[in-house]
Structure formats: structure tokens, C-alpha cells
Structure 1
Amino acid sequence: MINLFEVQETNKMIEESNLDVRTITLGISLLDCCDSDVDRLCEKIYKKITTVAKDLVSTGEAISLEYGIPIVNKRISVTPVALVGASCCKTPEDFVKIGQTLDRAAKSVGVNFLGGFSALVSKGMSESDRLLIEAIPQTLATTERVCSSVNVGSTKTGIDMDAVKLLGEKIVETARATSDIDSGGCAKLVVFCNAPDDNPFMAGAFHGVTEGDAVINVGVSGPGVVKRALMEVRGKDFETLCETIKKTAFKVTRVGQLVASTAAKRLKIPFGIVDLSLAPTPSIGDSVAEILEEIGLERVGAPGTTAALALLNDQVKKGGVMASSYVGGLSGAFIPVSEDQGMIDAVNAGALTLEKLEAMTCVCSVGLDMIAIPGDTKASTISGIIADEMAIGMINQKTTAVRLIPVWGKGVGEVAEFGGLLGYAPIMPVNNFSCEAFVNRGGRIPAPIHSFKN
């Protein structure tokens, strides 16, 4: 039972600490839309999305009003489009047409983003996968709400380096195609290793083939709540610190569980998972970096940063997993640069570098996220950074991702503006020693020895 004290406590977290439900994401399978004709396929896709998701936004708004819980985004994820379009798409332009249909459907139902312009190529690319990847720059340049992701590696299969090389080139093309918005198209593209099927967060969300026809996933957020709780135990030992994080994560996740179960019941769609990640925003006081500094760092990037992040991530998972019937997605702590004012401040102070961020990704929920780099960075260098991050995920049996933004026409010391939840970012320097011969080898990096568990 929820008592009066818990209601008051939750209200306080919302009012004073930026507690919110970051997203209700409706996953929709498009497998039953497959057709040999691309125009008929687009018609089926539009009809299914606008039918299944017609009440998503109004339901989210009603729940937010009724419970007083801010629900920041309502989103849709769909079956990876490389699979859906495999039987009819013969050119990249065919996939662009599907992407534009998805954008039109997203606007029709009023969601903020739609994810799933995706391909799963951890062991190799089919012709359909390759065509979709070729279509990414034009699709992201001609749509507003469509997000794209490509899974290029896994612990079980290794890393497809042909895909890694191709994506380095496509990221550069996307940056050039969206140069009028500080290469913001790249903010809607994520490269994954070990991508989960049930992630509600953009830009990496897609509706996995192991999921049902439709499902409700919710992502919660509460960095400000955790920071405020830690301020009450400043100077205490690690046991007290860990207990405080766990208890706070439990409370935050209970809010997500309430919203998820209510939305699923009202929409008559099964409840999937709660992703209990600490997802920051550019708002003051809503920063993962500030949590790490409250733990005891002068600035994020100082010695001890990776250990503090590992502690935070683990305690969030331990506290949140007991608060929901089903926990999934990414779950833990995000460290995007542009979306976290504390991270931005650390970069500007010289405390946080790209190399330190890479080390931190070994213990966080995702990876190198929303990092602006010089627009003249070579495609092979971007591919090398992707390969490094994929290797971390593959070896450590965890999800890792890369969302780099080479800002066309800008260099180190300048700032890229993305707006909204995406925020702004100082452009960070990149190691410019060449890895071109490595990237051009082609083929696949084999799975690690500990992947053989059958």
C-alpha cells in the first residue's frame, strides 16, 4: 500500500529534485506489414502505427495529470526496418521512403521520437542491412523524429568491422547532410554492441524480434533525487553511501512501475519493462556528473571517477531491481556529454577527456554518448573509436554504444547547439594518429573465448 508519507515524499522529489518519467515507449512489431511492394509496405506501416499508437500521447498526458508525475516524452519503437524492408527494398532510396513514412506516422500520433530505423549486423550484413545503412544520412536529414541504430557487435558473435568502417563513413555523411543544425542528424544515430531488445531510450530504441506484437516500456530518471539524498550523508562511509543510493533508486523505480502498469492497463497493451537508468538533462540539478562530484570528486574526470561511477551504477541496479516486476533496457547511469551540465562543465574545465570517458564506459550503462568532435575528423578515426567501444562491450558482456557528432565546419573550442533534451556540447579534441590500416583490414573480429558457453 502507498501511504500518505510516500505520496508527500514523491511530490517533494518531483518539485525539488527534477524527478520525472523520461519516457513511455510503445514498441510495435511491423513484421506483419512485410510486403514485396515498397509502397504497399509503407501504407501498412503507417496504418499499423497510427492505429496501435493513437491513444499513446493522450494516455500519457492523462496519467501525468492524474498522478502529478512529469512524463517528458512519449515515443515509439518498431521492428528493425532492415528486416521489415528486406523483401521489397532494392535501393537506399526505398529505405528512405520507409523512414519518411515512419516520420509521418510519428507526427500523426504526436510522439516525440520513433526508433527502429535499424539493422542488426553483429556477424555480417545482408544486402538489406547494407542498403539501410547507406540510407541513414538521407533519412536522418529528411526526417524530424526518426532515430536510427545499428548493432555491429556482440559477446557471442564478435564485431563486424566491415559495418564499423561503413558506419564511420555514414556518420561523416550524416554530419555533412545536417550541417545547418550543427550536424544534429548524428544525434539520432547510435552504434551498439550487445543492443537490448527492450530499450525505451532514444536514439537506440527498437522493438526486438523476441518481443510480442506490442508492448509498453518505461524509462525513469532521477539524478537530482539521488544527488539530494547524497547531500544528506555527505562525509559518511561507503556503506551509508551505498544504502542511500539503493533506497533512492527503489523509490524512483516505483514511480516508473506505477506509470508503466497504469499505461499498459489503459492502453490494453502488455507491460514490458522499466528501465531504471539515471538519465540526465541540461537542467540545473539534473546531472549524473554532479552525483559523482557529491560522492567526493572535485570534478568528473579526476582520479577515482571510474570507481565512483561503478559504485553508482551498481547500487542503482540493486535498489531498482526490487521495485519493478520486470527490469530491462539499459538500466544504470548514462553519461552523455551534451545532456549533462556537469559533464559539460568538466570538459570546459579540462578535467574530462574523450579517453577518460572511454574508461568510464567500462562501468556505465551505455557508452560514448552525445560527444561533439571536430567536423574534419576522418571517417576512419570515427570507425576506430567505434571499434574500441564495441570491444569494451564485447569483452565485458555489456551493452556499449557510440553516439559521436562530428560538427561540420566547427573545431575544438567551439560549441554545438542541439536544443531541447539534447542540450549543447563543447567540441572535444580527438587523437588524430591514424588507424586507417586497421579499419581497412575488413572482416570480423572474433568473439572472445568466454563467449563459448553452450
Structure 2
Amino acid sequence: MINMFEVNETNNMITQEKLDVRTITMGISLLDCIDSSVEKVCENVYNKITTLAKNLVSTGKDIEKEYGIPIVNKRISVTPIALVGSAACKTTDDFVEIAKSLDRAAKEVGVNFLGGYSALVSKGMTKAEELLIRSIPKALAVTERVCSSVNIGSTKTGINMDAVRLMGNIVKEAAEYTKDQDSLGCAKLVVFCNAPDDNPFMAGAFHGVTEADAIINVGVSGPGVVMHAISQVRGQNFEVLCETIKKTAFKITRVGQLVAQEASRRLGIPFGIIDLSLAPTPAVGDSVAEILEEIGLEEVGAPGTTAALAMLNDQVKKGGIMASSYVGGLSGAFIPVSEDRNMIEAATNGSLCIEKLEAMTCVCSVGLDMIAIPGDTSAATISGIIADEAAIGMVNQKTTAVRVIPVIGKKVGDTAEFGGLLGYAPIMPVNTKDCSAFINRGGRIPAPIHSFKN
């Protein structure tokens, strides 16, 4: 049982070390909203979301006030819309109409983001899935709160290179559609390999088809708390360091468990998972990169960075798993460049390049995240970046993702401004050597030999 002593123990974490519950995310199945009429699908989707989630934001605020725990975001994830719209949508504009309904529902209930404008195409694409993917740039441009994701590979199926090639073009189109906002549309689009069904974090959240009709997932973040804890054991050996991180992660996760249980009870919706992810913000003292530097690096990107991140990620997961029976999502450590002040500085100084970030994704929670690149980067190059990252995920049996932003009209040395939690980022250089002959082969890269388990 969780008691008030545990909550009181974390008071200084909240007031001094930026501990927060980053999100309460309600997952909602829309499978029963399927219809042959686009208008009826839109109506069904709007009605179900606004009925189930009508008290989500107010409940979050009540818990926040009662326990003194900041709950930064209240969000919704839904069944991948490629499935929901499959019977009705015959054009890309049909899918965009559903996106607009999702956006209206999100505004009505007051959540800041709604995820699930998604397609799962790791082995092949149906006509509906291809239509949804092609509709993504316009859908993200005409909505404010809708987020999109596409899963193009997995350890069990391999990598769908036709989808990889298509996504390079889609990312470029999304950038063009929102070029007056520093190509912000790309910040709401994630390309996954091995996407989890229960991720509460945007932009990659969707409600998996194996989930219940509705669930409550909670994402907890606390890089400032971990930073403070490890600063108290500066210079001590790795055994002491690892124990400190594990104990801190345990305490952080217990706070999330309390919030999740309370939200579940008050909303009458089952509890799903706790996602303990050290997710940074641009604020001072809320940086994953700063943790790595406290561990002993002059600046993130220095030799030893990948090893330090691997250790941090593993200890966070070990501590979280001991604190809750249901840890899931993307638990570990995020390394989004634009959302982490020290990552931004390292990228600006040249200590951190995309190639080093790719190496770090072998051991972090997700992948190449919130990286601004020159606006004239080719679609083939973006597809190549996606393919590389998917290969890391496929072979290593882990989730990887790409959220790169080709900022139209900007070049290396410029800065892109995204605002809020999305922060700002220097435009980072990419290798411009041509890979189009590789990308244009099409077909599917087979799953690795170790995938054959049944």
C-alpha cells in the first residue's frame, strides 16, 4: 500500500528538484466507432472521447491539488485511426475529417495532446493505411492537438522499406505544410520500430488493439531528482552510483503509482501502466544530459557518453520495476535534443552530432528525437535515417523512433523555435551523401534470425 509518508518524503523533490507527473493519459478504444460513413465515424469518435474523457482534466487537477503533485499534462491516446477509418475513408481528405473530429474532441475535454493518428505497417500496408499516411501532413497542419505515429518495423517482421521510403516524403511534406511555424508539424510525428501499445508519451502514443476499452496510463519524469541524488555521491564508485539511481527511481515511480491509482479510482477506468521515463524540459535543472555530465562527462557527447546513458537507463528501469507491478511504455531515459537545455548546448558547441546520438539510441528509451536538420535535406536522406534507426531497434529487440524536423528555410547554424515543452534547437548537420538507390529498392528487410521464436 502507498501511504502519505511516501508522499511527504517526496515533497522536497517536487518543490526543489522539479519532480512531476508528466502526463495522465487515458487510452480509449475506438474500434466500436467503425462505420461505412465518414460522417458517422466522426460523430462516433467525437461522442465516445467526449463521454469517457469529460472528467479527465478536472480529475487530474483535483489530484494535483490534494496531493501537491504537479501533473503537467492530461492527454488521450486512441486506437490507430488507420483501423478506425478503414471502412469509410476512400481519400486522404476523408481521414483528415477524422483528424479534425479528434482535434475538436481534444479541445472539448481540455487535453493538450491526443495521440493515435497512426498506422501500423511493419510488414505491409493496406490501402487505408497508405491513405492515412499520405494524409498526415495536412492533418497535422489543420489540427492543433493531434499527434501522429507510424510503426514501420519490428523484430518479428523486419522493416517495411516501402513504408520507410514513403515516410521520408511525408516528413518533408509535413515540414512544408507548417514552414511558417519552423516546420512544427514534424514535431508531432514519430516513426517507430517496435512501437509499444501502451505508451503515454506524445507524439507516439496510441491505444493498442490488445488493450481494454479504456485505461489510465501515467508517465512520470524526474531528471532533476536523479541529478540531485547523484550529486550527493560525486566521486564514489559505480556500485554506489547505481544504487543511488535505483533508489531514486523507486521513489519517483511510487509517486506515479499513487496518481495512477487515484485517477483510476475516481474515473472508474482500469489502471494500465506506469511509464517512468526521465523526460527533460528546456528548464534549468530538468536535463538528462546534465545527469550524464554529473556522472563524469565534461559535456554530453564526450567519449563515455553511451556507456553512461546505458547505465542510467538500466538503473532507472530496475528501480521502477521494484516500485510497481505494471511498468511499461518507454520507461528509461529520453534524449530529445530540443527539449533538454544541456543537449541543446552540446549540439550547438559541436560536442554532439547525429552520429553520436544514433549510437546513444542503442541504449536509451527511444531514438533520434526532436532533432532539427536543414530544410533542404532530401526525403531519401530522411528515409535513410529512419532505416538506420529501425535497424537498431529490430536487431536489438527494443523500441526505436525518429522525430526529425527538416526546418524549411533554415540551415546549419540557425535555430528553430518550437515553444513550450518542445523547446528550441540548433539546426544540426546531416551526412548528405546519396542513399536513394538503397531506399528505392523497396520491399522488406527480413527479420533477424533471433526473431524466430514461437
**Same fold, TM exceeding 0.5?**
yes
Q: Does 1:402 align with 2:397?
A: no
Does the CA contact (< 8 Å) of 2:222 and 2:278 recur in 1?
yes
State the match for 1:27 in structure 2. Answer: 27
1:175-232 CA distance string (max 9 Å, x none) = 0000011000000000000000000000000000000100000000000000000000
Q: Aligned pair count?
A: 454
1:307-328 CA distance string (max 9 Å, x none) = 0000000000000101112010
TM-aligned CA distance change 1:215 to 1:92, over 3 Å: same
1:228-258 CA distance string (max 9 Å, x none) = 0000000000000000000000000000000
Alignment of structure 1 residues 347-366 onto 2, 5 Å: 347-366=347-366
State the match for 1:158 in structure 2. Answer: 158
For structure 1, which runs of at least 5 residues remain unmatched after alignment? none
For 2:226, the aligned partner's letter is V
User: Could you tell me how far apart the structure 1 residues matched to 2:276 and 2:142 are?
Assistant: 32
Q: CA deviation at 1:5?
A: 5.8
Alignment of structure 1 residues 298-337 onto 2, 5 Å: 298-337=298-337
For 1:296, the aligned partner's letter is G
Q: Does 1:75 align with 2:81?
A: no
User: Could you tell me how far apart the structure 2 residues matched to 1:148 and 1:431 are?
Assistant: 26
Q: CA deviation at 1:348?
A: 1.3
Question: What secondary structure does 2:332 align onto?
Answer: coil
1:411-431 CA distance string (max 9 Å, x none) = 000000000000000000000
State the match for 1:283 in structure 2. Answer: 283
State the match for 2:447 in structure 1. Answer: 447
User: Could you tell me how far apart the structure 1 residues matched to 2:439 and 2:228 are?
Assistant: 45
User: Could you tell me how far apart the structure 2 residues matched to 1:253 and 1:342 are?
Assistant: 24
User: Could you tell me how far apart the structure 2 residues matched to 1:416 and 1:28 are?
Assistant: 34
State the match for 2:384 in structure 1. Answer: 384
For structure 2, which runs of at least 5 residues remain unmatched after alignment? none
User: Could you tell me how far apart the structure 2 residues matched to 1:67 and 1:374 are?
Assistant: 45
For 2:379, the aligned partner's letter is A
Q: CA deviation at 1:2?
A: 5.8
User: Could you tell me how far apart the structure 2 residues matched to 1:3 and 1:96 are?
Assistant: 47
For 2:124, the aligned partner's letter is G
State the match for 1:203 in structure 2. Answer: 203
Q: Does 1:263 align with 2:297?
A: no
Question: What secondary structure does 1:301 align onto?
Answer: coil
State the match for 2:433 in structure 1. Answer: 433
Question: What secondary structure does 1:159 align onto?
Answer: strand
State the match for 2:190 in structure 1. Answer: 190
1:248-295 CA distance string (max 9 Å, x none) = 000000000000000000000000000011110111000000000000
Q: Percent of pairs identical after alignment?
A: 77
State the match for 1:96 in structure 2. Answer: 96
Let me know the Cα RMSD of the aligned residues.
0.8
Q: CA deviation at 1:399?
A: 0.1
Q: CA deviation at 1:4?
A: 6.9
State the match for 2:167 in structure 1. Answer: 167
Does the CA contact (< 8 Å) of 2:411 and 2:427 recur in 1?
yes
Does the CA contact (< 8 Å) of 2:2 and 2:254 recur in 1?
no
Q: Does 1:137 align with 2:137?
A: yes
User: Could you tell me how far apart the structure 1 residues matched to 2:3 and 2:430 are?
Assistant: 52
TM-aligned CA distance change 1:2 to 1:170, over 3 Å: closer
User: Could you tell me how far apart the structure 1 residues matched to 2:180 and 2:255 are?
Assistant: 39
The list of structure 1 runs, each at least 4 consecutive aligned residues, that deviate by more than 4 angstroms after superposition, is 1-5
1:24-58 CA distance string (max 9 Å, x none) = 00000000000000001100000000000000000
User: Could you tell me how far apart the structure 2 residues matched to 1:272 and 1:9 are?
Assistant: 25
Q: CA deviation at 1:145?
A: 0.1
For 2:200, the aligned partner's letter is P
Q: Does 1:420 align with 2:454?
A: no
User: Could you tell me how far apart the structure 1 residues matched to 2:422 and 2:3 are?
Assistant: 36
State the match for 2:181 in structure 1. Answer: 181
User: Could you tell me how far apart the structure 1 residues matched to 2:175 and 2:324 are?
Assistant: 39
Does the CA contact (< 8 Å) of 2:314 and 2:332 recur in 1?
yes
Question: What secondary structure does 2:51 align onto?
Answer: helix
Alignment of structure 1 residues 217-232 onto 2, 5 Å: 217-232=217-232
State the match for 1:85 in structure 2. Answer: 85
Q: CA deviation at 1:350?
A: 1.2
User: Could you tell me how far apart the structure 2 residues matched to 1:282 and 1:325 are?
Assistant: 31
State the match for 2:115 in structure 1. Answer: 115
TM-aligned CA distance change 1:5 to 1:45, over 3 Å: closer
State the match for 1:345 in structure 2. Answer: 345
User: Could you tell me how far apart the structure 1 residues matched to 2:251 and 2:181 are?
Assistant: 38
Does the CA contact (< 8 Å) of 2:281 and 2:339 recur in 1?
yes
Does the CA contact (< 8 Å) of 2:7 and 2:255 recur in 1?
no
User: Could you tell me how far apart the structure 2 residues matched to 1:383 and 1:114 are?
Assistant: 26
Does the CA contact (< 8 Å) of 2:221 and 2:278 recur in 1?
yes
Question: What secondary structure does 2:10 align onto?
Answer: helix
User: Could you tell me how far apart the structure 2 residues matched to 1:5 and 1:77 are?
Assistant: 33
Q: CA deviation at 1:349?
A: 1.5
User: Could you tell me how far apart the structure 2 residues matched to 1:313 and 1:325 are?
Assistant: 19
TM-aligned CA distance change 1:45 to 1:2, over 3 Å: closer
User: Could you tell me how far apart the structure 1 residues matched to 2:415 and 2:196 are?
Assistant: 32
Q: CA deviation at 1:8?
A: 3.7
Report the TM-score, using the length of structure 1 for normalisation: 0.99
Report the TM-score, using the length of structure 2 for normalisation: 0.99
User: Could you tell me how far apart the structure 2 residues matched to 1:4 and 1:234 are?
Assistant: 31
User: Could you tell me how far apart the structure 1 residues matched to 2:9 and 2:282 are?
Assistant: 24
1:89-134 CA distance string (max 9 Å, x none) = 0000000000011000000000000000000000000000000000
For 1:437, the aligned partner's letter is A
